[in-house]
Chain A
């Protein structure tokens, strides 16, 4: 099923053409990768899907229905959850409080209405476990987790609160090789839960590990749109780097 479909969308900021003629499909249980170097328009694309910016041209369809998103809240209500690079967590708060922040379950009546802390702790633990994250202690401040783990908690949170589409903004950008692998596993776990995933990255190696569809952006335009069986990793890398950064990339690929 096509959850989100962009057809020939464009976005202009005044006289600046940020994005032109981009088409993209997100299917349930699939990962759509958006690849591009810095300044290619990845962030603009993500902001349109997340509801931060409206698109100027083309069409945006959510579950087949043509629409415009006017706020992040609206996107969330329609099941599109975005996990940004600078993650929305409160470092000094325990993992379980962060997990439910803004949607806290309560029990009791009147002035005795209180947080259902047992349920919150247990649910956090179970939701993380379901994604394959075995956390030692959900009471530890989330700031004590590594960047990769925090990313994983954010993903598990989106899955738990019923997101249909998960948009991930460079989830592996600030991480080491091993941590990146861990995060990609959780991305795959989210896909197996039946979510449609949009993975924004500038790393074709990471993209090819998990991606089902690939959208390549360069300087605000779409330069390619492939399904997995239409392209090999080498071709993807070639397309993306345009040859110039190839040596550096080859080096990176050899390590993984």
Chain B
């Protein structure tokens, strides 16, 4: 019982105090414990310390830059996927959607002999439309998102291969490196900046920007409140007037936006795109979000957590290489981290709620 009742109907209980003496002593610690990303931060520190000792050169600035680049490649998608999971849904099509986005961009520019920026723009529209389709199907049919996006996943996988072969005759697109607008588009999506003698990939900036934007949306806007609500209790949200369908469609379009950035990066780093890529990545995004503290049932999680989850992924995948181990073990570590982080998150949350 935390509500103390003096006299029912009495509208003037004791004067409101500026701070409640009952919460003063435990507040900072409890605040920390209630953060969804706590488990992943602890895990990330442990993995960092581990590879700092186990792998020669892990602490070198260039190695850390490589780690951050690997993390950002996952992180850019993990952010919108985390938001979607907080909103209570999955997107299994997220991995191949990245490839689709790159393919549309590349093939449109090549076939129409247009400025690459036109292709980039068309790709954005097509990708967002696919995201909206996912959301629309979900909210209209009321089928589980697992089924809807599994369908989209399969269709996109087929279309990526089918259209690429149909249009170009091979499984990869032609290079567009000599086309108009390529250098500037490359600068935006796939350039390397030099900061203090260290090469920093531009995707890291995209990643940090997305994390900041998503955190702002989640914690400080009405939309964020709605995202938590539709994931936590959809019926309750609807009952108090939250536009549930719009919120969910918006979340799927957010994933599509992330896929567009990732896809353009893919295209402009390699000039050409392999149409079979991306399968399986959707699970890695989900893993990053879950390691970062997103509840698989929705209603709980954070954007920062997904970033830490992506960082864990980047550190492990590159750390294994720096330690000169067989990279076959990577998947094993990923699985173990997923289990440990999820257990730790569940435990932390239970503790946090029990201390109230």
Instruction: Give me the interface of A with B, judged by CB distance under 8 Å.
Output: 72-73, 84, 87-93, 97, 100-104, 106, 113-115, 117, 125-126, 129-130, 132-137, 140-141, 143-146, 149, 152, 182, 184-186, 188-189, 191-193
Q: Is B328 an interface residue (CB 8 A)?
A: no
Min CB distance A53 to B, Å, is: 16
Contact of B11 among A73, A140, A152, A192 (CB under 8 A): A192
**Interface contact A93-B9, CB-CB below 8 Å:** no
Instruction: Give me the interface of B with A, judged by CB distance under 8 Å.
Output: 1-11, 13, 16, 20, 22-23, 216, 220-222, 224-225, 228-229, 232-233, 235-237, 239-242, 295, 299-300, 353, 356
**Interface contact B8-A101, CB-CB below 8 Å:** no
User: In this complex, what residue of A is CB-closest to B230?
Assistant: A90
Q: A92 to B301, alpha carbons, bound, how many Å?
A: 10
Q: A-B pairs with the 4 shortest C-beta distances? A: A185-B8, A102-B240, A90-B232, A102-B241
| Contact A192:B9 (CB < 8 A) given known A90-B232, A136-B20, A137-B23 | yes
**Interface contact B9-A101, CB-CB below 8 Å:** no
| Contact A90:B8 (CB < 8 A) given known A101-B225, A137-B23 | no
**Interface contact B23-A93, CB-CB below 8 Å:** no
Q: A117 to B299, alpha carbons, bound, how many Å?
A: 19
| Contact A91:B232 (CB < 8 A) given known A73-B241, A101-B237, A115-B220 | yes
**Interface contact A141-B353, CB-CB below 8 Å:** yes
**Interface contact A130-B233, CB-CB below 8 Å:** no
Min CB distance A137 to B, Å, is: 5
**Interface contact B11-A101, CB-CB below 8 Å:** no
Q: Which residues of B contact A114 (CB under 8 A)?
A: 216, 220-221
Extra inter-chain contacts (4) besides given A117-B220, A193-B11, CB under 8 Å = A88-B233, A90-B236, A92-B228, A103-B240
User: In this complex, what residue of A is CB-closest to B16?
Assistant: A129
Q: A255 to B74, alpha carbons, bound, how many Å?
A: 62
**Interface contact B222-A115, CB-CB below 8 Å:** yes
Q: Which residues of A contact B233 (CB under 8 A)?
A: 88-91
Min CB distance A165 to B, Å, is: 17
Q: Which residues of A contact B23 (CB under 8 A)?
A: 136-137
Question: What would 21 A/B residue contacts be, using CB atoms closer than 8 Å?
Answer: A72-B239, A88-B239, A91-B299, A92-B228, A100-B225, A101-B240, A103-B241, A114-B216, A115-B221, A117-B220, A133-B3, A133-B5, A134-B3, A136-B22, A136-B23, A145-B2, A149-B2, A149-B3, A185-B8, A185-B9, A189-B11
Min CB distance B274 to A, Å, is: 37
Is the contact region of chain A dominated by helix, strand, or loop, or is it mixed? mixed
Contact of B9 among A72, A149, A182, A189 (CB under 8 A): A189
| Count, A-B residue pairs, CB within 8 A | 120
| Contact A132:B16 (CB < 8 A) given known A92-B228, A103-B241, A144-B356 | no
Min CB distance B234 to A, Å, is: 9
**Interface contact A186-B8, CB-CB below 8 Å:** yes
Q: A92 to B5, alpha carbons, bound, how many Å?
A: 24
User: In this complex, what residue of B is CB-closest to A113?
Assistant: B221
Q: Which residues of A contact B239 (CB under 8 A)?
A: 72, 84, 88
Min CB distance A4 to B, Å, is: 20
Min CB distance B344 to A, Å, is: 18
Q: A88 to B232, alpha carbons, bound, how many Å?
A: 11
Q: Which residues of A contact B300 (CB under 8 A)?
A: 92
Q: In the complex, which of the residues A133, A141, A145, A191 has the most CB atoms of chain B within 10 Å of its own CB atom? A: A141
Q: Which residues of A contact B216 (CB under 8 A)?
A: 114
**Interface contact B9-A88, CB-CB below 8 Å:** no
Q: A100 to B2, alpha carbons, bound, how many Å?
A: 21
Min CB distance B233 to A, Å, is: 4
User: In this complex, what residue of B is CB-closest to A84?
Assistant: B239
Q: Which residues of A contact B22 (CB under 8 A)?
A: 136
User: In this complex, what residue of A is CB-closest to B242?
Assistant: A102
**Interface contact A188-B3, CB-CB below 8 Å:** no
Q: A104 to B220, alpha carbons, bound, how many Å?
A: 11
User: In this complex, what residue of A is CB-closest to B349?
Assistant: A92
Q: Which residues of B contact A91 (CB under 8 A)?
A: 232-233, 299
Contact of B8 among A125, A149, A188 (CB under 8 A): A188
Min CB distance B77 to A, Å, is: 23
**Interface contact B3-A104, CB-CB below 8 Å:** no
Q: Which residues of B contact A73 (CB under 8 A)?
A: 241
